[in-house]
Every structure is written in C-alpha cells, then in structure tokens.
Amino acid sequence: MRAELAESRTFATHRAAPNQDYHTFLDRKSQSDTFAGFEPLWVPDFLFDFQKALLDWSVRKGKSAVFADCGLGKTPLQLVWAENVVRKTNRPVLVLTPLAVSQQTVREGEKFGIEVRRSAGGSPNGAHIVVTNYEKLHHFDSADFAGVVCDESSAIKSFDGKRRAEVTEFMRTVDYRLLCTATAAPNDYIELGTASEALGEMGHMDMLSRFFKNDNNTCDTKGRWKGYGAPRERVTQKWRFKGHSEQAFWRWVCSWARACRKPSDLGFDNAKLVLPPLVEREHLVEARTAAPGMLFELPASNMWEEREERRRTIQERCELAADLVAGTKQPAVVWCHLNDEGDRLAHLIKDSRQVAGANSDEEKEEAYEGFASGQIRVLVIKPKIGAWGLNWQHCAHVVTFASHSYEQYYQAVRRCWRFGQTRPVVVDLVATEGERGVKENLRRKSEAADRMFTELVAHMNNAMRLDRSAHYEKPVEVPSWL
C-alpha cells in the first residue's frame, strides 16, 4: 500500500500541464540532474583535463560522488573543490578521511599551495579547510561548515550503525557535499544506497524498494525486513532489478555520481596516466600436519574447514611470507588477517613493524609515517586496518595471504600499484593446498568486478548521452487528462 501511495505521489508530481510539450513532460518524469551548486571560481592548471571535468561537474552539482580509481588524483580534486566552496561562501569546509590519511592530505595541500589545517575537534581559528579522521567526527558541529568531503567514502558502509548514522546526520544539514572513493562496485547496492543517503538523494531502503525486488522474500508477516536493526551487510538478501528499472536506476545514479578507472572513461586521453606492470605470483604452502582424521590434504569444502586450515598452517605460511621479503633490502608490505599471523610475521621479519588493532591511533600513524619515509622497511598489517587511502608508491612489493574479500585484496594491492608508481609491482599470494577454492573465488570476483565496473561506466555514459541528446523535431502536446 505504501509503495502504491509513493507511486501515485510520484505520478502527481510529474503530471503534465495542458499544452506542455512531450519532451518537457518526459524530462520531468526522468531521473535527471538537479544542480544545487555554482560555477567553479577557481580551476588551477595543475589539474589534469579529466580532473577539471570532474571538478566542474561536482561543483555545479553541489552534492555529488566521484568514484575514481586509485591514483587518479582524488585528493587534489577534493581540495580544489573545498577551496571553491570556501571562496563562494567564505565559510570553512571539513574533509573526513581514514586514519593517517589526514596528515597525508595536509602534505598534498602544501604540495599544491592549498592551506589545510588538521584538527581533532572544532574549527581552528582562521582555518578554511579542516581535515580530520572519521573517528573524530563527534567533536565537530555541522553548523560550522559550508561543505563536507568524505574521502574513501566506501568505508562508510563498513561502519557500525551508530557511526554510519552519525556521518549521514552530520552531512544532512551541510549545503555542499562530496563523496570520493575508488571501490564503489556496480553490484554493491548497499554502498550505492549509503552514498545516496549521505548526499540526501534517496534513502537506502527507498532505493531498494523503488528499483529492486527481493527474491528471498525476507519479510515477516507485518511487512518488515527480517534482520531489521542489525547491520545491513549482515542481512542476507538477494536483490534483482524490477522489470524495466535497470536503465532508470543507472540514470538515477548518473544524476549524482561519476565513475572512472582511467581518463578515457570520461572521454580523455590516457597517455599521461599509465600504470607499470603488475606481476602476480602464487605460492602454495604444504601443511606439515593433516586435518584431524585425514591422511592427506584435501581442498577445504566450507568456511569452517578453511578457518581450521588457516590456523593450522600459520607457521608454514608466515615462514614463506618472511622468506619472500628477507634479504631484498627493498620496502615491502605484508598483509595478514589474524592476530597470530601478525605476531608471527613481526617475529620472523627482523626489520619489520607490525600495526595491530590494539595500537593507539598515534602509534598507527607513527608506523605509517615511518614506512612512507623509509625508516621502516617492512610493514605488517591487516587490510581492514590500513588498506584505504594511503599512498605507498615508494614500495613495489606486496605479500598477502588468501582471502575471500576482493575489496580488501584490491585495496591492499592498490596502496602500491597506483598512478605515480614507477616500477613493476610484485604481488605474492601465499595460500595452502586446501585454499584453492579461496583463490578461485578471488579470481572470479576480480573478473566480475572488472566486468561490472566497465558496465557501470557504459551505463553512465549512455545515460549522460541520452540526457544531452534527447530532443524532438516537433513539440508534441500532452493531452490535458495527463
């Protein structure tokens, strides 16, 4: 009933006036751009042509998202966007980043001649662009800022319900908003819904109910979603597009977001941004002890067996990972998933530094700075702690253990393999015989992600092309009864 009422309200909103031409009627019914921003006041020469295009669109849009790949210059884009808002409103802008990325943002500002002040709470006197970590957001008042930037905004969907609501509520009353991330997956409707909600476009559940159908029928007898109140990512649901809603959905996403993995996705030349080769090597570890009740190793058939084998082979896997970075005298990042793995690796690799969840924010930032400056040769860390936003182009060697999470793998590799890297990047994937299924799943997700992002860019380009080219030779009058 509620959905039918919403449909009737939508129709009433788009009802055509007598003698209104058909093009205007369709335009009002479509998911088209609504611009609440302004013409850019400052477009510096240090931006690439595709960055200038993204800046122009996002400033005019006012509230928008930019899904640009690692190393495409989201930080200078964010800072120039913020500077434009400051010049327009004469009020400060807040930039939210993952831990340790705030200091990196300050350095980027110095590099490009944009003053950026870091703060743990409140707006420093005279500061125009203020940067802080997501964890410090509760120390700030949204009324003090004219604009807000969420760097690595894909992290928002991983926050618990309280913090995610805090970010959304903070942004709700701010006039100008920009979300930037590299990992928005086209089929990750949770992430797209979270971004839309933060921008004030459409709520997460409103988006799902408008464009999608839930094949699992996970509703109770009162029409409420089962699992309501639990984190969204823990509710297992299978969504598919309604009848003919797919194109309407992507046109709607296109109205508030732009996506690119290379400049040519936006119609520009790739010549100035070419990645060096990526060399991916797989290493199989033989377990010294078989699983309980087994005479020899077999591929794990479920999550329980995978976890059991992962813990049973910690020593073997860590020894191989340590051997891969020992003696190279080159910087390396070793990504692990368990506390015991991190402790063992830190013991085996003498010139390493482990970043653990138990470390304070200050200790983590000190380790990141030490690694980036070359004081620490090998960094041992979990993807969920430090895989977002950090620039480590000085490092060209990554060692990681097998995992089902393609997003974590992608982000871990892209800390080093990103635009600005001058050397081929070597990625060593360490797995056991029983983890063959994990590797195959990771490979499948990688291929699917590339394919789906390509489709996302194509959908957006088609939607933009339709919006720009829609016209009719003769105006068609709409009957008054419409």
Question: What does each C-alpha distance from 222 to 225, 237, 248, 265, 285 come to in angstroms?
Answer: 9, 18, 29, 45, 52
pLDDT at 8: 38
Quick one: tokens of 473?
Answer: 């030779």
Label residues 255-278 b or e (16+ Cβ within 10 Å = b): bbbbbbbbbebbebeeeebebeee
Which of 219, 216, 196 shows the shortest CA–CA distance to 2?
219
pLDDT of residue 161: 63
Q: What is the DSSP letter of 326?
A: T
How far apart, in Å, are the Cα atoms of 34 and each of 102, 249, 251, 255? Answer: 31, 16, 12, 7
Contacts of 267 (CB under 8 A, 6+ apart): none
444-482 core/surface letters (b: 16 or more CB in 10 A; e: else): ebeeebeeebeebbebbeebbeebeeeeeeeeeebeeee
Q: Say if residues 198 and 134 touch (Cβ distance below 8 Å).
A: no
Burial of 61 (0-12, 13-18, 19+ CB in 10 A): buried
The kind and range of the H/E element at 54 are helix 49-61
**Residue in this structure with the two tokens 């506390």, named with its chain if needed:** 339
Rounded CA-CA distance 159/403 in Å is 20
Instruction: Tell me the sheet residues that pair with 426.
Output: 279, 397
Angle between helices 189-199 and 161-172 (to 10 degrees): 40
All domains of the chain, ordered by start, with CATH?
31-269 (3.40.50.300), 278-442 (3.40.50.300)
The pLDDT value given to residue 23: 52
Q: How many Cβ atoms from other residues are within 10 Å of residue 342's Cβ?
A: 23
The tokens describing 213, both together, are 């159908």
Tokens of 471: 């016209």
Kindly report the three-state secondary structure assignment for every residue of 108-119.
Answer: HHHHHCCCCEEC
Six-digit token pair at 64? 């928008």
Angle in degrees, CA 260, 394, 365, rounded to 5: 90
Neighbours of 410 (CB within 10 A): 21
- Going by C-alpha positions, the residue among 115, 117, 125, 62 that lies closest to residue 89 is 62
The DSSP code sequence of 121-163 is SS--TT-SEEEEEGGGGGGS-GGG-SEEEEETGGGGGGS-HHH
**Is 440 in contact with 306 (CB distance < 8 Å)?**
no
Q: Looking at this protein, which amino acid is placed at residue 228?
A: Y
* Helix spans in 182-277 (H): 189-199, 204-211, 246-254
Q: Name the strand (E) or helix (H) holding 10.
A: helix 2-13
Name beta bridge partners: 130. Answer: 94, 117
> Tell me: the pLDDT tens digits for 86-114?
999 999 999 999 877 888 899 899 999 99
Residue 31 CB contacts under 8 Å (≥ 6 apart), including other chains: 248, 251, 252, 254, 255
Give the Cα-Cα-Cα angle 25, 28, 31 (nearest 5 degrees). 135
pLDDT in tens, the chain (482 residues): 444 434 333 333 344 444 455 555 444 444 445 788 999 999 999 999 999 999 999 999 999 999 888 888 899 999 999 999 999 999 999 999 987 788 889 989 999 999 999 988 777 777 799 999 888 898 999 999 999 999 987 766 666 567 778 888 898 889 999 999 886 555 567 678 888 888 988 887 888 888 888 766 554 433 344 443 333 333 345 677 888 887 788 888 888 988 888 898 888 988 878 889 999 999 988 876 766 666 566 666 667 777 788 888 899 999 999 999 998 999 999 999 999 999 999 999 999 999 998 888 889 889 998 998 899 999 999 988 876 778 899 999 999 998 888 888 888 898 999 888 889 999 999 988 777 778 888 888 888 777 777 777 887 777 666 555 544 344 445 445 44
What lies within 8 Å, CB to CB, of 91 at 6+ separation is 85, 145, 146
What gap in Å lies between CA 213 and CA 222, rounded to an integer?
18
